Amino acid sequence: MTVTFAPSGLSFPLRCVEGEVSTTYNQIDLKQDRESASVSVQAPSPVRWAMSVGQ
């Protein structure tokens, strides 16, 4: 699965192992305020995932 943060273009892969539950924490510190930003996730359809995003 791949997580992407826009507008920075930062992305990182997360390994998914069938039958295992894993937790990953990431923090992105922005150098300047942004009016808008987005986070997207791409994963194969059998992968179940959840995300929490804070500001």
Q: What pLDDT does 7 receive?
A: 83
CA–CA separation, 32 and 18 (whole Å) = 39
| The 2-6 sheet, strands edge to edge | 10-13, 2-6, 38-42
Contacts of 41 (CB under 8 A, 6+ apart): 1, 2, 3, 4, 49, 51
Q: What is the pLDDT of residues 16-55, one digit of tens each?
A: 888 889 898 888 887 888 788 889 999 988 888 898 888 7
Residue 2 has pLDDT above 90, yes or no: yes
Give the pLDDT confidence score for residue 42 in this predicted structure: 93
